[in-house]
Structure 1
Amino acid sequence: MIALEDVCCAFDHEPVLRHISFTIKKGEAVLLTGPNGSGKTTLLRLLNGLVFPELGTYTFEGTAITAKKMREHRYSKYFHQRVGYVWQNPDAQLFCASVEEELAFGPLQMGLPEDEVHQRVEDAIAYFSLEKLRDKAPYFLSGGEKKRTALASIFTMNPAVWTLDEPENFLDAESQTWLTQFLQSLKDAGKTIIVTSHHPDIASRIADRELRLTAEHQLG
């Protein structure tokens, strides 16, 4: 489903990823680890078509993901329906005037009928216990509430691939337990999961394998 072959990526001539190669099969749960600065977030951004290899290739379902390909509106729309990204900091992800609008944004961009958008939003509000927050602006929420809203906004898109950058951030112990159960439910539903974490005891419970980036920005 996902394949990287000898991928290199740099910013301002500073290498961020060096000669990364791996494949991820449909339905796999992969824990991405490594020290700070090893390139984990950059790799997730690359998998989401937000940055692109300078060398090597990234293919998704057999299609090479390049800047040129992602400028094709029809394909880009399809791709972002298939791959969901939960950012490390929810403030970078949330931008609508209310939680309810945040949850509806993705499905509306997909062009879904109004009644289906409404049903997806209501399902997400119930699943993530957001009823009391639906009319609040995201920037008024606590860190944990923002994180749940960010997860719910991807949930309404129902992507085949979930990429999550340290999803346990801002969550208390009880919510982290809930997060583990949520990730397991995604796995049971056949979703492909790629997650970074500084709490590997959380993600390792659902991960089929680990990919570790070294300080040299390579897979160890």
Structure 2
Amino acid sequence: MIDFDDVCYAYDGEPVLRHASFHIKKGETVVLRGPNGAGKSTLLRMLNGLIYPELGTYQFCGTEITAAKMREHRYAKWFHQQMGFVWQNPDAQLFCGSVAEELAFGPEQMGLSTAEVKSRVEDALELLGLAHLRGRAPYTLSGGEKKKTAIASILTMNPSIWTFDEPLSALDEKSQAWLCDFLQALKDAGKTLIIATHDVSLASTLADKTLTIHADHSVELSA
């Protein structure tokens, strides 16, 4: 499903990923580990088609992901339906005027019917306990509520792959417990999960494989 072949990437000449080669199968849960600044967030952005290899190739379901390919509207639309990205800081992800609008945005971009959009929004609001916040502006929410809204906005897209950047950060104990249960439910549903986390307990509970980015920015996939 996901294939990296000798991928390299640098910021201003400073390497961030060195010769990354790995394969992730459909339905696997892969935990992304490494010290701060090693390149975990960069790798997640690349997986989501936001940046591209400078050397080497990234293939998704047999198609190489490049800037030119992602300029093809039909393909990019399909790709972003498959790949969901929950950012570490939900403020970087939320931009609509209300929680309900946030949840509806993705399905609307997919071209779904008004009835289907409404159904998905209502289901997500109910599942994540956000119904009472539907009319609130995201910037007025607590940290945990923002995180749930960000997750709900991906849930309404129903992607086959979920990527998370430090999902437990800035959450209280209750919210962390809820999120761990939610991640387990996604795994049980057969979703492919790629999770960057420093949380050892989360990693040991969920991971089928571990993708480690070392301090020298080399990448290693292990069972």
How high is the TM-score relative to the length of structure 1?
0.98
Matched, 1:164 2:164: yes
State the identity as a percent: 65
Q: What is residue 80 of structure 1 aligned with on the other side?
A: 80
Structure 2 residue runs of 5 or longer lacking an equivalent are: none
Counterparts of 1:1-220 in structure 2, within 5 Å, are: 1-220=1-220
Q: Quick one: structure 1 residues 115 and 203, their matched pair in 2 at CA, closer, same or farther if it must change by over 3 Å?
A: farther
Deviation at 1:209, TM superposition (A): 1.3
The aligned amino acid for 1:207 is A
Deviation at 1:204, TM superposition (A): 2.6
Secondary structure of residue in 2 paired with 1:76: helix
**Alpha-carbon distance between aligned partners in 1 of 2:71 and 2:150, rounded to the nearest angstrom:** 25
Deviation at 1:10, TM superposition (A): 0.9
Q: Quick one: structure 1 residues 48 and 88, their matched pair in 2 at CA, closer, same or farther if it must change by over 3 Å?
A: same
Structure 1 residue runs of 5 or longer lacking an equivalent are: none
Runs of 4+ in 1 over 6 A off after TM superposition: none
**Alpha-carbon distance between aligned partners in 2 of 1:141 and 1:170, rounded to the nearest angstrom:** 13
**Alpha-carbon distance between aligned partners in 2 of 1:52 and 1:117, rounded to the nearest angstrom:** 31
**Alpha-carbon distance between aligned partners in 1 of 2:90 and 2:218, rounded to the nearest angstrom:** 27
Deviation at 1:100, TM superposition (A): 0.3
The aligned amino acid for 2:52 is F
User: How many correspondences in the alignment?
Assistant: 220
Any conservation in 2 of the 1:20–1:219 contact (CA below 8 Å)?
Answer: yes
Deviations 1:102-145 (A, max 9, x none): 00000000000110100100000001100111100001111111
**Alpha-carbon distance between aligned partners in 2 of 1:61 and 1:194, rounded to the nearest angstrom:** 16
How high is the TM-score relative to the length of structure 2?
0.97
**Alpha-carbon distance between aligned partners in 2 of 1:157 and 1:203, rounded to the nearest angstrom:** 25
Secondary structure of residue in 2 paired with 1:26: coil
**Alpha-carbon distance between aligned partners in 1 of 2:125 and 2:33, rounded to the nearest angstrom:** 31
Deviations 1:180-214 (A, max 9, x none): 11111111111000001121212331111111110
**Alpha-carbon distance between aligned partners in 1 of 2:119 and 2:183, rounded to the nearest angstrom:** 22
The aligned amino acid for 1:204 is S
Any conservation in 2 of the 1:176–1:202 contact (CA below 8 Å)?
Answer: no
Deviation at 1:81, TM superposition (A): 0.2
